[in-house]
Amino acid sequence: MKKIKSVLNSINFKIAVIFMLLLLATIEVVGASFTRQLEQNSIQNFESSIQVPNIITNQISSQLSRANSKKANQQLSQIISNYNLGDISQLMVVDNKGVIRAVSNVNDQNRIGQRTSNVDIKSVLSNGKQVSKVINDNGNYMVQISPLTSANGTNTPVGAIYVRASLQGVFNNLRQVSIYFLIAAVLGAIVALVISRAITRPIEEMRKQALRVANGDYSGHVRVYAQDELGQLAEAFNTLSVRIERTQEISDSERRRLDNVLTHMTDGVIATDRHGNITIINETALDFLGKTEKDVIGKPITNLLGLKDVTIQDLLSTQQELVVRVNDNTRDEMILHANFSLIQRVTGFVSGLVCVLHDITQQQKKEREQQQFVSNVSHELRTPLTSLRAYVEALNDGAWKDPNIAPQFLHVIQDETERMIRMINDLLSLSRMDRGVARMDLEWVNLNDFVNHVLNRFDMMLKSDSDKMHKKKYTIKREFPHQALWVEIDTDKMMQVIDNIMNNAIKYSPDGGVITVRLLQAQKHVILSISDQGLGIPRKDLNKIFDRFYRVDKARSRKQGGTGLGLAISKEIVEAHHGRIWADSAEGAGSTFYISLPYEAISEEGENWDEV
């Protein structure tokens, strides 16, 4: 059905129909008038061809002028039979009384002498005017009745000649001509089809090629049949399709390049239409926002970024810069800096917005940490200074004279001053490490010997009993492998780390605790663990104790002379050795600190070489 409709609508069909109709109309008009004319002429010619010549009519007239006798009738029959009838099928002579005097047809001889009943003959006899008419009786006939006048010149009517002749031949000729016209019409229709096909073929080819080009297939070409207007149109079409292909290639490669740039950008990029609905979004932006492309395309950017008080009109008119916080239950809060700019055409028409998202989470965190650090340092220094001032004021106010109080006050002043100096030294070494200017003096040491050496000092301190802090009793248990573990470390710094952890183990343990120090070798690491039987650390604080100034119990730490920086420095030192430090604890049941350092087992050969 659809196909029939498209054929009926095609130019090919329309041109063919128009041509055919024009041709048929022309042939019809020309043919009709021609055949009519031909018919008239043929009938006229036929009429004159069957006209009995005067010489014969005169002979007949002179016989009719005589009396109706058998002899005269024989004479008449003789004249008729001598006459070459040609197309005439029947000839009859009637006298002025309407009596048939002679007939050409042998079978009709019995009618001679009978009076004719033919009305036309009677009217010719009475008015003397010739009658010619076509009779449609068993095939077409022409009947011609001519009056006969006396041969002596008196014009006295003596009778009439009735002639009947078949028009079959004439009509056959006319039919023949009509058939020629019909053949011409059919040929004309075929020619019309061929011509219309010739005209529409290039158009049809161009239509098909246009469809292929629209579907992105530029491989084909329209054939140029001739250098006429259609040929030129086909050439122009081919040039056009080549240009479109090139433009398409350029725009494809531009798009790929843009896609590449967008994909590999560390910033998120979102483009919207002029209504603020998202049209393009890159991977980074999707990662930042924790969404998939399907979730966001076509949705308003204000919803995506959770902008409650800002409308798309605000963004379009002011292109403000915003800070967007992404709170996703599955991960930490992300802070993004969103910068908006307009997408404008050359005409100035605003067709959308581009939003560039920059991750400022770390930057903000650092800033917050720095602010926190400055406030912590001020606070940590103010506390000892305030107590120093109080003691100095008290001494000033006369306490220096009191031999019972003065030495005690001076001792506190000395302790606090020493703690402050320790804190400032710790801060300076942290600052050096932060700035990356702390030098590492690396050397290969046997870790077993090194840790033993550090622990021996603690045993010695226990015996010497000189330090107040170390008045506590403790036992150090060592669990070392026999195998020597060679590592490359900065011995001073690593000693500081072990000192810190050991001091903490003693500080935060009751008297008589056992401190177990283990060394073990894992695949590519050596792990040093120091376990105590002290207070333990609540689970929630386990990660925080490595932060600067973080203390589980501030008052206790201060009382013990702690600065809250020991573990922070230890962490920096261990990480500078590409190692890791962490703690594990069950509250109330002691803590274990682990230090893992990179280690590569030295082969047997290496050891032998060392011995040589």
Q: What is the binding site for ligand ADP (CB under 6 A)?
A: 500, 504-505, 508, 532, 534-535, 537, 545, 551-553, 557, 562-568, 591
Q: How far is the CB of 589 from ligand ADP (least distance, A)?
A: 11
Q: Which is nearer to ligand ADP, 591 or 596 (CB)?
A: 591
**580 DSSP β-pair partners:** 596
Q: Which is nearer to ligand ADP, 46 or 593 (CB)?
A: 593
**359 DSSP β-pair partners:** 336
The closest alpha carbon to 530, from 563, 507, 557, belongs to 507
Q: How far is the CB of 503 from ligand ADP (least distance, A)?
A: 7
Rounded Cα gap, residues 145 and 165, in angstroms: 12
Query: Strand pairing of 474-479 and 513-521?
Result: parallel
Q: How far is the CB of 553 from ligand ADP (least distance, A)?
A: 5
Q: How far is the CB of 465 from ligand ADP (least distance, A)?
A: 22
Rounded Cα gap, residues 498 and 427, in angstroms: 18
Q: How far is the CB of 429 from ligand ADP (least distance, A)?
A: 13
Q: Which is nearer to ligand ADP, 130 or 378 (CB)?
A: 378
Q: Which is nearer to ligand ADP, 490 or 572 (CB)?
A: 572
Q: Which is nearer to ligand ADP, 450 or 508 (CB)?
A: 508
Residue 216 structure tokens? 């992105």
Q: What is the DSSP string of 86-137?
A: TTEEEEEEEETTSBEEEES-GGGGGGTTSBP--HHHHHHHHH---EEEEEES
Q: Which is nearer to ligand ADP, 272 or 563 (CB)?
A: 563
Q: How far is the CB of 400 from ligand ADP (least distance, A)?
A: 31
Beta-carbon contacts of 332 under 8 Å, excluding residues fewer than 6 positions away, are: 361
Q: How far is the CB of 516 from ligand ADP (least distance, A)?
A: 12
Task: Find the residue with minimal CB distance to ligand ADP.
Answer: 562
Provide the terminal-to-terminal Cα distance of the chain, rounded to the nearest Å. 102
Q: How far is the CB of 605 from ligand ADP (least distance, A)?
A: 42
Beta-carbon contacts of 600 under 8 Å, excluding residues fewer than 6 positions away, are: 524
The closest alpha carbon to 192, from 203, 204, 184, 182, belongs to 184
3-state helix, strand, coil in the chain (%, to 5): 55, 20, 25
Rounded Cα gap, residues 46 and 134, in angstroms: 11
Q: Which is nearer to ligand ADP, 50 or 567 (CB)?
A: 567
Q: Which is nearer to ligand ADP, 235 or 499 (CB)?
A: 499
In degrees and rounded to multiples of 5, residue 590 shows phi and psi of: 90, 170
Q: How far is the CB of 306 from ligand ADP (least distance, A)?
A: 38
Q: Which is nearer to ligand ADP, 50 or 535 (CB)?
A: 535
329 secondary structure, DSSP code? T
Q: How far is the CB of 584 from ligand ADP (least distance, A)?
A: 11
397 secondary structure, DSSP code? T
Kind and range of the H or E run holding 490: strand 486-490
Q: 3-class DSSP state for residue 161?
A: strand
Q: How far is the CB of 591 from ligand ADP (least distance, A)?
A: 4
Residue 140 structure tokens? 């077409």
Q: What radius of gyration do the chain's Cα atoms show?
A: 66
Q: Which is nearer to ligand ADP, 268 or 564 (CB)?
A: 564
Contact 145, 124 (CB under 8 A): yes
Rounded Cα gap, residues 570 and 495, in angstroms: 10
